[in-house]
Amino acid sequence: MFESRPDRDAEVALVGRSNVGKSTLMRELTGHTFDTGQRPGVTRSPNHYDWASEDFVITDLPGFGFMEGVPEDVREQTKTDIVRYIEENAEKILVGVLVVDGKAAIDIIDRHSGPDEVPYDVEMFHFLRDVGIPTVVAVNKMDKVDDRDERLNELCERLGLPTPWQQWRNTVAPITAKRGSIEPMNEAIRHHLHEQGRDDLFQFF
E-assigned strand segments in the chain: 10-16, 47-50, 56-60, 93-101, 135-140, 172-174
pLDDT tens digits, the chain, 205 residues: what are they? 677 788 899 999 999 998 899 989 999 999 887 665 555 555 578 889 988 788 999 999 998 887 778 888 888 898 899 999 999 999 999 999 999 999 999 998 998 777 777 788 999 999 999 999 999 999 999 999 999 999 999 999 999 999 999 999 999 999 999 999 999 999 999 999 999 999 999 999 9
Q: Which domains does the chain have, with CATH numbers?
A: 10-197 (3.40.50.300)
Query: What does the pLDDT read at residue 6?
Result: 87
User: Do you know the residue count of the chain?
Assistant: 205
Identify the CA nearest to 159 among candidates 203, 125, 198, 195. Answer: 125
Residue 50's beta-bridge partner residues?
A: 57
* pTM score, whole prediction: 0.93
160-180 per-residue burial string, b: 16 or more CB within 10 A, e: under 16: ebeeebeebebbbbbbbbeee
Indicate the SS3 state at residue 36: coil
- Asked if 98 and 16 count as a contact pair (C-beta separation under 8 A), the reply is yes
Indicate the SS3 state at residue 47: strand
Tell me which DSSP letter residue 71 carries. -
